[in-house]
Structure 1
Amino acid sequence: MRATLRWAHADFRAHRGEALFVVLASAGIIASLLLAGALFSYAANPWQRIFNQSHGAHIWLQTRAGADTDALSGVDGVAALSGPYRTAATTVESRGARVGVTLRATPAAPPETGRPLVTAGSWFPRPDDRVSGHSGTGTVVLEASVARALWAEPGDTVRVTGPDGAPHALQVSGIAEVAEPRYHPGGGPGIGWVLSATLDGIARGDTGQSVGLRLEDPDDTDFIVQRAVTVLGADRVAQVTKWQQARAEAGGDDRLLGQMFAVFGLGALLAAALAAAGAIGARVRGQLRDIAVLKAVGFTPGQVTRGFLVQHLAFALLGVALGTAAIALLGARIPGRIGEAAAVWQDLPGHTAIMIGVPCGAVLLIAAATGLSAWRAGRVPPVPVARAALPSAAPITALGRRALGMRVPAALVLGWRAAFPRRGRTLVPVARLALPLVLITVALVAWSTLDQFRSRPAQMGLPAALTVRAEQPAASSDAELEQTLAEIPGIAAVHPGAEMAALVPGQTGTITLRGLGTARDPYPSKVVEGRAVGGPDEAVAGQGLLDLLGVRVGAWVRMTVEGRPQILHLVGRTIEPESGGRVITTTIDALRERDPGLRPDHHALVLRKGADPRAVSAALAVAAGGTLEVRETPNPVDRLEPARGVIAALIAVLALIGLIELLTLISTGVRDRGRDLLALKAIGLTPRQIGAMIVTAAGLTALASALVGTTVGALSGGWLVDTQGASSGIGAGIAQLPPLPVLLTVVAAAVLGAVAAALVPATRTARRRLADSLSETL
């Protein structure tokens, strides 16, 4: 063992550069994996991230005025209070959209517990920061989901109607996020914040109170709720909201993002493991002559194996420690979304498990790769001359000879031959380098699919951008309303609709039955399987409904609506983003056969190409004189918005892993062809030609890997997105491949990166003397 350690120390001193590369490669890979873990946690746990950053409250109590909420601070298990805040129920309108909002009177300084996180605009100015005309009175901060429903942005003016019915104009100061239930059309009211003076002007005496409780132990929520209601009095408590409700509401989004990024995480781990194994294996192959000498002087195969194992495990542990320490200490200082994710990661679930599991898993993978390479090193024969006497490459092919005869530059021909020597030796480096490119392309497919929801919503099951509901519909006004809507500039089609709950066969579940459009003018649903509705009693359904009922396109479905049966023939499957895909859509004429008195409760508006929904909504509000409620059609991409920045950061992480793999392949190729390069120089090739040959070989290898990676990534990415869409109920058929220029940019970036990475080793190799040492000639 002593001899083994002495040899390992001597080998380290003789090959410090290679050892440094292995350590830095291991550190870079670990840092990349930890950053990927931080990004995944950041994107897949949006509610938990907001809760931690805002120091959120676990319980929110809505009480009547006069309740002694200060007594709650003495309840055992309550760590801190947020509030109490005076509240008032109001209605906020903007551009024709109308939302019920509970306004909270808050001080100018944001509270420490339950602090709203301002994402756009600003909070109210502090007293010492206020200047003339900027006191903060007359302004409001809206919760993000409320602002989205109102199309409101900082600087806009919204109309607020108080309990007395009097309208007030408030300017939107900012938009904030909180770890509370979000606003949904038809659900509970949203949240807004104003100063006390502003609330006094809107609701002078008709106010309630809202107080948040942050607990020492979240598991005691139900018990603390009972204690709090007892302290305040049951007649004083109007509503209780627990943190589990808000988290469950966002749970579907967390699951969707978590499944998507879990695939990326496994792929990144595999790519990192291959990169680490490649770096270690390359160093072992570079020491074959030294191993032969060791065996010649008496080292046993076991001693050689142990020496390499101890040495590279030490390198791996040092690299893992450096990478982990770098992320722990400096991760939050990285600019952009990556640094933000690293900063809040330590408070998110799974942080400790990832910080311990990823380094330990990496060490085990590196140990396995090192053990395999060390075992191969132990089998090296002690006669290096016999190995050197074997040809290092296959003879030049007929195509190569023909290319030389056609005066193709020798550097290109030799570079091609070096890049693709034999089938086995060609596939391994191409596959290793293609894996990060496959994952990058899959990420671009996900990015393009999200963009498709924004740029072409009709192709993703969202043809109607707006929904209009009349406040006081009358039977004689339906035709007049449709005529008024059709005359608004920017509206291409008006489709009457009615929506109701229906019981599935067996009365075991509830689905959404929707009548949209008429037999003469059907609703333009995006049909991806079967055909659109074209006859009586025909309908189309989402994937979620087909899975729930266990049926396929072509089946007849019986359901119960308001106690009466409804039988429909499923003729197609549509992309259905709403209600988990558990929606069946027919014409409103088909529903009138069951209920002749049925009237539309809303109208779906399909806009002309290029029309701005906000401008159309404002025009509707003016034309209808405020008698219409205009809502924007919910877009599922709004819930997945955090994924955009994470995908961009993930591409950067995968590019770093790919760069490490590329540097390993280039250094390995230069070392393995060292004798060939010296021979080429001896027969007359200039240093420039030798350098061009190395650069060409690297560029061609990267080109082949990029072509394979983008092709496989596009196919697998489309399959992955469609599979995820089917499992979420939206349905397969939503995957959108990146544009061809984007894929060509990925290929070009890979080739240019390989050329740039090969310039330094190519220059150093070209400047070598004909025989730098006796070992180069063996």
Structure 2
Amino acid sequence: MRAALRWAHSDLRTHRGEALFLVLATAGIVVSLLLATALFGYATNPWQRVFTQARGAHVWLHTAPKADTGRLTELDGVESVAGPYPTSSVTVASRGSRASVELRGTAERPSVGRPLITSGHWLDPAAPDGVVLESRLARALLAQPGDTLTVPGTARTLTVVGVADSAEPRYRPGEQPGQVWALPSAVPHPGGQVIGLRLTDPDDTDYAVQRAVTVLGAGAIGEVSTWKQARAEAQGDNRLLGQVLGLFGLGALIAAGLAVHGAIGTRIRGHLRDISVLKAIGFTPGQVVRIFLLQHLTYALLGAVAAAALTQALGSRVPGRLGDAVGVWQGLPGSTAALVVVPAGAVLFIGATTGLAAWRAGRVSPVPVPRPAAPLGGRLSGVARRALGARVPPALILGWHQAFTRRPRSLGTIARLTLPLLLIVVAMSAWTTIDRFHSSPERVGLPTALSVRADANLGERDARALLERDPQVAAAYPGVEVAALVPGQTATIALRGLGTHAEPYPYTLAEGRAARGPDEAVAGQGLLDLLDVRVGDWVRMTVGDQPQVLHIVGRSIEPENAGRVVSTSLDTLRENDPGLRPTLYQLRLDPGADPHRVADRLAETGRGHLDVHTVTNPADGLSPLRAVVLGLIAVLALIGLIELLTAIGGTVREGERDLLALKAIGLSPRQITAITITATGCTTLAAVVVATALGLPLAHWLIDAQGRWSGIGAGIAHGPSLVLLLPLGAAAVLGAVVLAALPAARAARRRLADTLSAVA
């Protein structure tokens, strides 16, 4: 045991940098995996906790005011109901912020779909103008108990008495109105009613919706929302961040395992004589294997323990969403187990790859075998010989020959170095795609910057004139958005009519063509998946009592409503309803215009008749991904550095046998050094080329697959430009050359006696 420890200590002193990089890389990998686990837990658990405590309804139906909702209690599978509650759509304002809300009248605190009070108290009959706000809406309005809300265009005010969490779909500016609970007296002229159904079997949600629509009639149903939609919206970007961290963490773990495998293999080839001596003095093959295995397991264990300790102690202090996620995750029942299982799994994986490489050390013969005199690469190729005849510097020719003629070993080195570089290219593609959402939103389905809703007192012509009068408004597209029942009547989708045939709305198309003729429409990926249709198909939907049949001629990139949107022109919808008037306007601004300033100016000009919102950019919720990408690139760079040091060490050792021959033919130490540097640079350049060639299409496939899964659709991926790729490749090659220069120079200046002992 003492001899084994002395051997391990000597090896550690020789390879201190490699050991440090391995510890740091393992720590980075485990931190990534732990953060991914935390984000998955954070994405799912809070909503599930609220849904359970609130006894949430599995289906919410928005119906006409006179619909006989009492019949729904008799449906099979309905355990209990919430409501019906009278509702009214209004706009409220607080501290300069405005929001569209659904005012819901309820005399008592519901037992199903029960709002969970987080601050303040529930409604009190002694305060007839008191309201309770859903928590996200309260944050958007910067409102808290005691504040007063105004209703623009009227003298009415509402007093916030409480803020509550709800398991229903949350407030999203311009898409989903916020929930406001009030006494029935505060909803004097309801425009509809809402009822919630809690089912005995949540998996029967689609069937329950079908039965409800059959009982009430399609014309009585305005909108349907289910618990599955609410859960998916609540998970949102957190789940995406978790997937990114998990994917890159696993990829980095594989890259680290391969790097360790290559490092041990190279070290074994360089210490064959020492291993033979160990066996000659009594070491068994098992002991030799255990020396390498325990040594690298110790490095991995140090990194994993450090990562777990840092995540536990400092994870919740990370600013932003990552810190919130870790803080919530640490309070979940399974967090302690994950804090042990994830690092243990990483250590075991590295141990498995270490064991495979160390097994070769156990097979080394106790009798040293002389190295072959001829180089493994064989003779120079005809091209190399002709290049030498053309007076190409011999260092370049021999370096290239040394890098690529030992094919199995060279290909293995290139493959191990390619993997971290490939993942870096994928990470850079993710960064570039996010930047594209900010720099060119019109290319990813966001051609307009503002969404405006005008009240009924403002005519269409007056509204457009008021909007287009602003000097920074380039175009105002009138439109309507209604909820439509899909075939089978199991869910509702968003049906939009935007723009006219004379002034078509500038949709961002990823497939097909624009909708120009009558009954033509474009649809988002989420709608195509929901209805199981493709571009070129006809779809039928129901808006109230009126059927609407549309021909899908193109697929648009739709960042809103999970892509469950079908869009046509306002003129097409007016063919079924000539009296249809626009209720919203999408505004395209001049380049460089500040949407917030234009929104404030329009709200002031409208004098309460305009409800102006900035269009939500999905990339705004992915800002933590930038820091994640930078951290992952750093971890992958460490892994690449480990493999690079291994490749340099192997190249230097393999060149020792040729040192005497190179000096004999008259090459100077500087030229011999250049051979090793050239070999290292060629190997790294090959890895960069392969990583770029494979990484770009892989990144496009992964990002587009995520786009399809989220409903936005494929076509959003954007790879890094040459301005980023060329510096990456140049830095990798230049770094390899710089790292190889010192050990190559030392090896070239070794004494002949040392060289003879190394070759013997």
TM-score norm. by structure 2 comes to 0.75
Where does residue 32 of structure 1 map in the other structure?
A: 28
For 2:759 and 2:457, the matched residues in 1 are separated by 94
Q: Secondary structure at the match of 2:616?
A: coil
Residue identity opposite 2:627 in structure 1 = G
The superposition leaves residues 495-531 of structure 1 with CA deviations (integer Å, 9 ceiling, x where unpaired) of 1111111111121221111111112211111111111
Could you say which residue in structure 2 is the equivalent of 1:122? none
- Aligned residues of 1:97 and 1:617 also touching (Cα < 8 A): no
Change (3 A) 1:96 1:329: closer
Query: 2:296 is matched with which residue: 303, 311, 316?
Result: 316
Q: Are 1:470 and 1:602, in contact at CA under 8 Å, matched by a contact in 2?
A: yes
Q: Cα distance 1:275–1:760, how it changes in 2: closer, same or farther (>3 A)?
A: same
Specify whether residues 96 and 518 from structure 1 end up closer, same or farther in structure 2 by C-alpha distance, changes over 3 A only: farther
Distance 1:371 1:625 in 2: 74
Question: For residues 660 and 49 of structure 1, do their structure 2 counterparts lie closer, same or farther at Cα, with a shift above 3 Å needed?
Answer: farther
Distance 2:749 2:356 in 1: 35
Q: Is the 8 A contact 1:501 1:561 kept in 2?
A: yes
The aligned amino acid for 2:301 is A
Deviation at 1:589, TM superposition (A): 1.2
Name which of structure 1's ranges 420-429 and 274-283 shifts more when overlaid on structure 2: 420-429
Are 1:542 and 1:584, in contact at CA under 8 Å, matched by a contact in 2?
yes
8 Å CA contact retained: 1:42, 1:341: no
Match of 2:692 among 710, 715, 733: 710
1:92 and 2:93 aligned: yes
**2:451–2:587 CA contact under 8 A, matched in 1:** yes
* Partners of 1:776 and 1:441 in 2: CA distance: 40
Provide Cα deviations, 1:39-59, integer angstroms capped at 9, x if missing partner: 4346556668999xxxx9998
Identify the residue that residue 264 of structure 1 maps to in structure 2: 248
Match of 1:417 in 2: 401
What pairs with 1:447-486 in structure 2 (closer than 5 Å)?
Answer: 447-474=431-458, 477-486=459-468
C-alpha deviation, 1:27, in angstroms: 2.0
Q: Which residue of 2 aligns with 1:559?
A: 541
- Cα distance, 1:146 vs structure 2: 6.6
Q: Secondary structure at the match of 2:753?
A: coil
Q: Would you say the 8 A contact 1:581–1:730 is kept in 2?
A: yes
The letter of the residue matching 2:603 is A
Give the residue type in structure 2 aligned to 1:716. L
Match of 2:220 in 1: none
Within 5 A, what are the aligned runs for 1:394-433? 394-433=378-417
Residue 284 of structure 2 corresponds to residue 284 of structure 1: no
In 1, distance between residues paired with 2:642 and 2:743?
15
Contact 2:30 2:346 in 1 (8 A): no
Alignment of 1:526-605 (within 5 A): 526-605=508-587
Shift of residue 182, structure 1, vs aligned partner: 5.9
Query: Which residues in structure 2 correspond to 1:297-312 (within 5 Å)?
Result: 297=280, 304-312=284-292
DSSP-derived class of the 1:388 partner: coil
Asked if 1 retains the 8 angstrom alpha-carbon contact of 2:44 and 2:235, the reply is no
TM norm structure 1: 0.73
Contact 1:485 1:491 in 2 (8 A): yes
SS of the residue corresponding to residue 511 of structure 1 reads strand
What CA deviation, in whole Å up to 9, does each residue of 1:191-233 have, x standing for no partner?
9xxxxxxxxxxxxxx9xxxxxxxxxxxxxxxxxxxxxxxxxxx
Taking the aligned partners of 2:251 and 2:15, their CA distance within structure 1 comes to 27
Residue 681 of structure 1 deviates from its aligned partner by: 3.4
Query: Residue 503 of structure 1 is aligned with which of 478, 485, 493?
Result: 485
- Correspondence 1:347 to 2:330: yes
- The equivalent of 2:429 in structure 1 is 445
Evaluate the alpha carbon distance shift between residue 247 and residue 769 of structure 1 in structure 2; reply closer, same or farther with a 3 A threshold. farther
Mapping of 1:663-678 within 5 angstroms? 663-678=645-660
Partner of 2:122: none
2:293 maps to a residue whose letter is L
Could you say if the C-alpha distance between residues 555 and 48 of structure 1 is closer, same or farther in structure 2, counting changes exceeding 3 Å? closer
1:17 equivalenced with 2:13 (yes/no): yes
Matched, 1:741 2:723: yes
Alignment deviations for residues 262-293 of structure 1 (CA, whole Å, 9 cap, x no partner): 32222111111111111222222222233445
Q: State whether residues 422 and 694 of structure 2, in contact with CA within 8 Å, keep that contact through their aligned partners in structure 1.
A: yes
In the alignment, structure 2 segments of 5+ residues that lack a partner are 56-89, 104-116, 120-132, 158-164, 181-185, 187-226
Distance 1:342 1:537 in 2: 46
Change beyond 3 A, Cα 1:674–1:166: farther
Q: Which of 327, 330, 336 is 2:307 aligned to?
A: 327
Tell me how many residue pairs correspond in the alignment: 641
Measured in 1, the distance between the counterparts of 2:38 and 2:434 equals 18
CA distance in 2, matches of 1:570, 1:60: 40
The one-letter code of the counterpart of 1:565 is P
Aligned partner of 2:592 among 610, 618, 636: 610
Structure 2 counterpart of 1:406, one-letter code? A
Separation (CA, whole Å) in 2 of partners of 1:306 and 1:745: 46
Residue 19 of structure 1: CA displacement?
A: 6.3
Q: Distance in 1 between matches of 2:328 and 2:137?
A: 27
Q: Is residue 32–residue 656 contact of structure 1 (8 Å, CA) maintained in 2?
A: no
Instruction: Measure, in 2, the Cα distance between the counterparts of 1:60 and 1:280.
Output: 56
How many Å separate the matches in 2 of 1:316 and 1:15? 11
* Cα distance in structure 1, aligned partners of 2:9 and 2:756: 20
Decide whether the 8 Å contact of 2:259 with 2:642 is kept in 1: yes
Moved more, 712-721 or 17-26: 17-26
Q: Is it true that 1:660 corresponds to 2:642 in the alignment?
A: yes
- Counterparts of 2:521 and 2:343, CA distance in 1: 54
Partner amino acid for 2:440?
A: R
CA distance in 1, matches of 2:33, 2:325: 9
1:629 equivalent in alignment to 2:630: no
CA RMSD of aligned residues (A): 4.1
Match of residue 184 from structure 1:
172
| Contact 1:320/1:359 (8 A) holds in 2 | no
How far apart in 2 are the matches of 1:752 and 1:533? 52
The answer (yes or no) to whether the contact 2:454–2:584 under 8 Å persists in 1 is yes
Cα distance, 1:407 vs structure 2: 3.1
Deviates more, 1:430-439 or 1:332-341: 332-341
690-699 or 739-748: bigger deviation: 690-699
Q: Quick one: which amino acid aligns to residue 263 of structure 2?
A: A
Q: Which runs of 5+ in 1 are unaligned?
A: 62-88, 103-112, 116-141, 153-157, 169-177, 192-205, 207-242
- Matched residue SS, 2:716: coil
Amino acid at match of 2:27: A
* CA gap 1:18/1:707 in 2 versus in 1, 3 angstroms: same
- Match of residue 196 from structure 2: none
Q: CA deviation at 1:483?
A: 2.0
- Partner SS, residue 752 of structure 2: coil
Structure 2 distance, partners of 1:669, 1:513, is 64
Residue aligning to 2:65? none
**Residue 29 of structure 1: how far off its partner (Å):** 3.2
Does the 8 A contact of 2:99 with 2:178 survive in 1? no
CA distance 1:751–1:399, shift in 2 (3 Å): same
1:625 to partner: Cα distance: 3.0
In the TM superposition, residue 352 of structure 1 has moved relative to its aligned partner by 3.8
Q: Say which SS state the counterpart of residue 243 (structure 2) adopts.
A: helix
CA-to-aligned-CA distance 1:617-668 (integer Å, 9 cap, x gap): 2332343234211111121112222212111111111111111111111112
SS in 1 for 2:622: coil
Q: Distance in 1 between matches of 2:371 and 2:344?
A: 37
Query: Does the CA contact (< 8 Å) of 1:96 and 1:620 recur in 2?
Result: no
- Greater alpha carbon shift after TM alignment, 723-732 vs 33-42: 33-42
Q: Structure 1 pair 705/340, CA: closer, same or farther in 2 (3 Å)?
A: farther
TM-fit CA distance, 1:21 = 5.8
CA contact (8 A) 2:538 2:551 kept: yes
**Would you say the 8 A contact 1:305–1:371 is kept in 2?**
no
